[in-house]
Amino acid sequence: MSFDIWTTYVVTVLLMMATPGPSQLLMLSNSAANGLRRGMFTAAGDLTANSLQMLAAGLGLAALIATSGTALTIIKWLGVAYLVFLGFRQILKAGAPSSRNAVWTSRNALWMQGFITSATNPKAVVFFAALFPLFIDGALPFWPQFATLSATYLVIDGIFLIAYGGCASWLARRLQGTAKPWLDRIGGSFLILAAVLLGLKSLRTASQ
């Protein structure tokens, strides 16, 4: 793979990530509520799902999944419902007496939230299946190019997630006391917004 092709790919990924999506909004919410160190488990779940999606693309499975309309639609809307549930639960718990000394969300739960949100994002599935071939030279060995594209994406995505999580955690440490319930409500609203984004993407994909 030439440096020019790789650079073009990097620019494409950066442009795609310029606007926060469901995974970034989830990272904001979880890092604000649990701190960046624990929020990193959400990022790990997201990157794990991305790795599996990229592997599926490399094996030719992503295209098959994308053409299975019924199965893909069910997966998408389960993800939407899951985020709505998490968002409303966080909003309802905000400001409750027990929430001021609440136990942080477990690492496994944070990882699972990141994994499910990314795995049910239709843009991620279609992205890897449709975009990777545009940057792969058929005259060169496939797997080294695939590994380069995959590793590059994971690094960029990880940097974005850490940046979002770091900002949210920094803000949360400075908004304590009476401001904390409002921060929780904002975090819950971010989760619901992430669900709305997933739903809109699903409707847009279905109409095409």
| pLDDT tens-digit readout, 122-154 | 666 666 777 777 788 777 888 888 899 999 999
Instruction: State both tokens at 208.
Output: 């095409």
* Domain ranges within the chain, ordered by starting residue: 24-207
Q: What is the 3-state secondary structure (H, E, C) of the chain?
A: CCHHHHHHHHHHHHHHHCCCCHHHHHHHHHHHHHCHHHHHHHHHHHHHHHHHHHHHHHCCHHHHHHHCHHHHHHHHHHHHHHHHHHHHHHHHHCCCHHHHHCCCCCHHHHHHHHHHHHHCCHHHHHHHHHHHHHHCCCCCCHHHHHHHHHHHHHHHHHHHHHHHHHHHHHHHHHCCCCHHHHHHHHHHHHHHHHHHHHHHHHHHHHHC
At residue 15, does pLDDT exceed 90?
no
At residue 184, does pLDDT exceed 80?
no
pLDDT at 55: 86
Q: How far apart are CA 65 and CA 72, in angstroms?
A: 7
Q: How far apart are CA 77 and CA 201, in angstroms?
A: 11
| pLDDT tens-digit readout, 53-98 | 888 877 876 666 666 656 656 766 776 787 787 778 777 776 555 4
Report CA dihedral (30, 36, 38, 44) to the nearest 10 degrees: 80
